[in-house]
Structures are given as C-alpha cells and as structure tokens.
Amino acid sequence: MVLAVEAENLKIGYEDEEVVWAVKGVSFKVMVGEIFCLVGESGCGKSTTGNAIVGILPPYSVTDGVLRILGKTVIEGNKRDYTGVRGRIVSYVPQNPGSSLNPYLTVEEQFHYVMNSVYEWGRKKVVEEATRYLRMVELDPDKVMDYYPHELSGGMQQRTAIALALSTGAKIIVADEPTSALDAHLRLGLIRLLTRLRDTVNLTLIFITHDLLSAGKICDKIAIMYSGRILELGPSGKILTEPLHPYTEMLVDSVPILGIMKPLKTYGGEPLTPGVEVKGCLFLDRCPKKFDKCAENHPAPKEVHERIVECWRYV
Amino acid sequence: MRLADLIIVKLENITLGYYTTPRGWRSLFKVKQPVVFNVNLNVVDGEKVVIIGESGSGKTTLLKTILGILPPFEGRVYVLGKSIYDLPAKERRKITRQIGYVPQDPYKSLNPRVKIETVMKEPLEKSNLTDREIKERINEALRLVQLHEKILDYYPMQLSGGMMQRVLIARAIVHEPEILALDEPTSALDVSIQAQVINLLNQIRRKLELAMLTVTHDLAVAQYLGDRVVIIHKGRIVEEGETAIVLSQPSHEYTRLLISSYRASI
C-alpha cells in the first residue's frame, strides 16, 4: 500500500499577538484508496488540518512538524511548499456549495476557469473533460453545462463541486462537511456517490465531519479530534462499537439514533476555547474517569487493540 | 373539563404562504404563493408535538402563523381559545405573548451589541413587576437552564453556541408562557451539546408543565422532543400520530422514504 497522506507531529497555529495553536501535534497515515474521517466538535482543529492537506492555510498561520503528500514533503517546520500538489494531487470540496460556486459563471465556465488555470487547456478540451466528470457524478452534461449555480438544486450544486474538484485529476479529495447542508435522502445519495468514486477511480477521501454516525457508515478509519489533538484513531467499526477513550464514549452515547430510545448521556461542560493553556490532559474538565495522573500532563499516544489512544488509562 | 378547553393551539383549514411580485406591468398586483395547504392541527395543553419536514416543506412557515406574525390566506388560528387574526393587533399580541419562542440559529438571533441582561429583561418589559421581581424571575430562568448569573454582564459573542442557545431558552421561559415553540433547536449545535439541550428541554417542560411545539428535520431528535409527530411534505400533512408508532410502523409512502433514507445514511 502506498501512503497518500502522512502527518508527523503536525502543529498548526494562527498568529495573533502570540501564536494560538489550533492543531497541537497530530500524527496519522492515510493509504491510497482509503476513506479517512476526521470527527470532532466545532473548534477542535479538524478543518485546519484539512486546510493544511489541501494547502490553503492563510499566510499568517504557523506550522511545525512534517506533512507528506504522496511522498512529497509539503510542510516541514515553518516551511510550506505546495508546488505541483495543490490542485493537481489534492483538491477540496467546500462545505456550502451554494456560496462556493461563482454565481456569475455557468457550470461550463467554472470548469474552464479551473482547468485553464491548472493545465491551460482550450475550450474544446475543457468541454470534453467536463462532460466526462459530470457523467461521473451522475449529472446530465447537456443540461447542466449551461446552467448558473442558482439554477441547480442543493444536491446538484454539491455534485458539481465534486466534479470540479475531480476535474484537475486530483488523487486525494478533502471534503469539509459536504453533507451537513443537505437533507437525509440527498445525504444518502452523496455518500453512495463518494464511495463509488473511491472504488472506480481509486480516490483517497479525507472526510471532515461532526456527525459520528455518518462517518461510521462510510469511513475505513476514524480519527476523533478534541481541541487540537487526535484522542483516538482506528478502524471505524471498532471505534463505534467499543470506544476506548471517555470522549469517544460520550460522543457515541450522546448521538440520538432513530428507533432506539436510549437516555442521552453527556458529561456536561463544553470544549476548550482555543488559545487557553491547559496543564494536564485536554479532556480533564469533562472526564468522569479521571484520576491523579491525568492532572499532570497530556498522555502520549499509545497503541491498544489496533487503535491509537491518548489516555492515561491505557498507558 | 371538556377536551375543547384543553386545546391551546388549533389550526383550522389553514392555507398560508407569501406574496410575490411578478415581472413587468403585472407587478402592480401581488400574487399569493401558498406554501402550506389545508392544514388542521390541535395541540393539547402539556403535550409535546414535533413537526417534521425537509427543507422547503413549510414547517417554519406553519410555526410563524402560530406565533402571530404571518396571517393565513384562509382558515383560522386559535391560540388559547381565541381566533388571533380576528383580533386587533394589540389584543393579538397579548395572547401570542403566551408563546415562548426559541429561534433557529443562536449565532444570528442575538444582537451582538446588547448585553444578555437586556435580552433577558425584554419579555418582562410590559409586565407590572417590580425590578426586584424581574431580577428574581431572570435568576430563576437562568437556574433552570443551568447558567451562572455572571453571564448577564456578557455580550453574546463572549458565549459559546450552547450557552447562547440556553440564553434563548431562558429568555423564552422567563415570562412564564403556556407554550414553548422551538424552531430547529439543535441543528446549529455539536452532538454533545445537542444532547445537553435535549435533556434540558425535557426537564424544563416537566417542571413548568408547558406544551412544547418543535419544528425539526431530524427524526432521531424528534423521538426525544415529541409524544406526537406530524409529518409534513410539500405543505401538506401526510401523517400524524404517536411518535413511537409513526417512526416504527409508518403508513404513508413519504414517511417510509424519509425513515429508510435516514437509516441508510447513518
């Protein structure tokens, strides 16, 4: 198996008066053809990690550690070099397709804009390629090509955004909450489409979501993030059925499931605000299973039962 | 006591929607664009009702007419036994004040320049309470939603999403309403905070003995917030009944579709 994305102790921060670390050292490996999921609540750094993989970090961000994409080192220390990677190998499906497509351009012009900026192709070649990619996402090219974004429905907009992301020949796609703006049946269609693309074009998908259940449905591997660190990482089936970390346990228990009337368990409290220095484990305030050692410092990652967990109970 | 006295919200053959302006010279005449057609609905005192629908089905529009801010094209809306749109505006407001309303997006519904204290005082402005009584009321409401008193001095942007949603719930119950109307109370929140808010709403309802009317698109959340569900599709009620029964043995085609696609996507 070939490594698609590899992060080693990756840290990302934003420069304010002093540096606020949004991602505080994460390590993970994604194989080619795998669906990898970053799950977490808002403010945990999952979108920042995604942005680092795509190469759209803002200029005032600070990085540390190593990030490799298909063998090429893109982040090393505070140096970032995405030449030949951004767009051509990695591309991005944004959260809200309605506001990410240019309202002044028809779908054909959007494709022209993207492909021309990457490969400098002419109109004829662009139309040819765009037809192929629109077919791939189950849209009718003859109709859709001349439409403006507002003439498409929400699901069609999202498919167009995926076709646009694929159109540069990208091997890795980072999708930032692609399903959160859609209704249940559209969500189902999109999930099926993405898994089928993985099987047919051997696409690597990095899926960013806050919905643990839909992550479990489609992903091979799940990483649970909490205030800038990956607390638990492992195969999706295992994480959902037998969570090891108390935070994962809480997430699994607090999701309402249709047809099962269980009491919703939560530990109270809210995620840490970014920029606050904490001594001890990051989950200390909300953890019901804490003991003396937890207050000292944050545990190092440890491999237990095919998973990597950061919790003092397993060290 | 008769059953009719217990019904606190009653919709009778409601058709409602918005006015649109066509292009050209026809723009002189506004055109009615109905969104909800022929809806009948009763809410009994102390009951939990959930309206389920997808985006664009007219569920929020339906809630607006109960709140007294959108007159229907046809039909009557009874709140606490009075047909509210037949009353003058002042009288209508007196009745609709008995509904506590929690809007959809906490981030967008609090004025960033106004302190939480002012926000909480607003529903009590027209009451004859003294300052001290107002303060007591506010503190009690905050205690119910498990918030500390010190947040009264904060501005909305200093709070997290879950806290803002709690402030909005506290504000909705501070004037002791008879009905609590919630528009997608958890859709903007994270899962662990969502569970906290659901548990909190059920606690409050039990304590204050309110009727609760919730609008949502999330079937799993509906299980917790409703004894009775109303499924609405393209402006028409397609199915209605006890939550457990409707969600486990749906009789309408659309409900079945909704449930199967929900099951498959999670």
3-state secondary structure A240-272: HHCCCCHHHHHHHHHCCECCECCCCCCCCCCCC
Residue B237 binned pLDDT confidence (cut-offs 50, 70, 90): very high
Cβ distance B92 to B151 under 8 Å?
no
Which of B192, B200, B225 should be substituted to probe chain A, the one whose Cβ sees the most A Cβ atoms within 10 Å? B192
User: CA-to-CA distance for B174 and B118, rounded, in angstroms?
Assistant: 13
Say what the pLDDT of residue B1 is. 63
User: CA-to-CA distance for B202 and A266, rounded, in angstroms?
Assistant: 15
Cα dihedral value A101, A105, A107, A108, nearest 10: -140
User: Phi first, then psi: what are they for A145, rounded to 5°?
Assistant: -50, -40
How confident is the model over B199-220, as a mean pLDDT?
Answer: 90
CB atoms within 10 A of CB B140: 13
Say what the pLDDT of residue A194 is. 84
- Reference B177, options B90, B95, B81, B119; nearest CA is B95
Angle between helices A246-254 and B191-208 (to 10 degrees): 50
Report the mean per-residue pLDDT for chain A. 87
Those residues with Cβ within 8 angstroms of residue B38's Cβ, 6 or more apart along the chain or in another chain: B13, B14, B15, B75, B236
Cβ distance B15 to B33 under 8 Å?
no
Which of B50, B147, B151, B191 should be substituted to probe chain A, the one whose Cβ sees the most A Cβ atoms within 10 Å? B191
Residue B266 binned pLDDT confidence (cut-offs 50, 70, 90): low
Say what the pLDDT of residue B77 is. 92
* DSSP output for B25-36: GGGGS-EEEEEE
Burial of B3 (0-12, 13-18, 19+ CB in 10 A): exposed
Say which of B195, B221, B224 has its CB closest to residue A266.
B195
How confident is the model over A124-128, as a mean pLDDT?
Answer: 91
H or E element at residue B244: helix B243-248
Residues of A in contact with B190 (CB under 8 A): 41-42, 210, 271
Is the CB of A257 inside 8 Å of chain B's CB atoms?
A: yes
Q: Is the pLDDT of residue B230 over 70?
A: yes
Residue B139 binned pLDDT confidence (cut-offs 50, 70, 90): very high
How confident is the model over A305-310, as a mean pLDDT?
Answer: 86
Q: Is the pLDDT of residue A155 over 70?
A: yes
Of the candidate ranges A135-149, A195-209, A248-262, B78-92, the one whose mean pLDDT is the lowest: A248-262
Q: Answer yes or no: do B265 and A251 touch at CB < 8 A.
A: no
Report the mean per-residue pLDDT for chain B. 88
Report CA B210 to chain centroid distance, whole Å: 12
Is the CB of B198 inside 8 Å of chain A's CB atoms?
A: yes
Structure tokens at B69: 């801010």
Is the CB of A211 inside 8 Å of chain B's CB atoms?
A: yes
Say which of B190, B217, B224 has its CB closest to residue A264.
B224
CA distance A127 to chain B (A): 33
Is the CB of A240 inside 8 Å of chain B's CB atoms?
A: no
Say which of A188, A259, A267 has its CB closest to residue B265.
A188
Residues of A in contact with B265 (CB under 8 A): 179, 184-185, 187-188, 191, 214, 217
Burial of B29 (0-12, 13-18, 19+ CB in 10 A): exposed
How confident is the model over A205-219, as a mean pLDDT?
Answer: 85
CA distance B83 to chain A (A): 35
Quote ipTM for the complex: 0.78
Using alpha carbons only, give the angle B143, B165, B199 rounded to the nearest 5 degrees.
65
| pLDDT tens per residue across span A63-101 | 999 999 998 999 998 888 988 888 889 999 888 877 888
For B256, name the nearest residue in chain A, comparing CA atoms only.
Answer: A185
Cβ distance B27 to B205 under 8 Å?
no
Structure tokens at B180: 């609590």
Q: What percent of chain A shows pLDDT beyond 70?
A: 100
Q: Answer yes or no: do B192 and A250 touch at CB < 8 A.
A: yes
Say what the pLDDT of residue B169 is. 92
Cβ distance A71 to A23 under 8 Å?
no
DSSP state of B145: T
Using alpha carbons only, give the angle B80, B82, B83 rounded to the nearest 5 degrees.
125
User: CA-to-CA distance for A94 and A160, rounded, in angstroms?
Assistant: 11
User: CA-to-CA distance for A132 and A201, rounded, in angstroms?
Assistant: 13
Say what the pLDDT of residue A179 is. 78
Cβ distance A41 to A53 under 8 Å?
no
- Encoded amino acid at A202, one letter: N
CB atoms within 10 A of CB B7: 17
User: CA-to-CA distance for B63 and B11, rounded, in angstroms?
Assistant: 11
Say what the pLDDT of residue B115 is. 92
Say what the pLDDT of residue A64 is. 92
Structure tokens at B210: 């309110």
Beta strands in chain B (DSSP E): 7-20, 31-44, 48-52, 74-79, 82-83, 99-102, 179-183, 211-216, 228-233, 236-242
How confident is the model over B205-226, as a mean pLDDT?
Answer: 90
Say what the pLDDT of residue B49 is. 93
User: Phi first, then psi: what are they for A310, rounded to 5°?
Assistant: -110, 90
What is the SS3 string spanning chain A?
CCEEEEEEEEEEEEECCCEEEEEEEEEEEEECCCEEEEECCCCCCHHHHHHHHHCCCCCCEEEEEEEEECCEEEEECCEECCCCCECCCEEEECCCHHHHCCCCCCHHHHHHHHHHHHHCCCHHHHHHHHHHHHHHCCCCHHHHCCCCHHHCCHHHHHHHHHHHHHCCCCCEEEEECCCCCCCHHHHHHHHHHHHHHHHHHCCEEEEEECCHHHHHHHCCEEEEEECCEEEEEEEHHHHHHCCCCHHHHHHHHHCCECCECCCCCCCCCCCCCCCCCCCCCCCCCCCCCCCHHHHCCCCCCEEECCEEECCHHHC
Of the candidate ranges A19-23, A205-209, A212-216, A264-268, the one whose mean pLDDT is the lowest: A264-268
Say what the pLDDT of residue B213 is. 93
Structure tokens at A177: 């909450």
User: CA-to-CA distance for B151 and A79, rounded, in angstroms?
Assistant: 42
Q: Answer yes or no: do B247 and A217 touch at CB < 8 A.
A: no
Report CA A193 to chain centroid distance, whole Å: 17
Q: Answer yes or no: do B223 and A270 touch at CB < 8 A.
A: no
The CA distances from residue B85 to A182, B77, B197, in Å, are 35, 7, 33
User: CA-to-CA distance for A207 and A195, rounded, in angstroms?
Assistant: 11
Helix, strand or coil, per DSSP, at residue B249: coil
The reported pTM is: 0.84
For A257, name the nearest residue in chain B, comparing CA atoms only.
Answer: B220
Is the CB of A262 inside 8 Å of chain B's CB atoms?
A: no
How confident is the model over A243-253, as a mean pLDDT?
Answer: 88
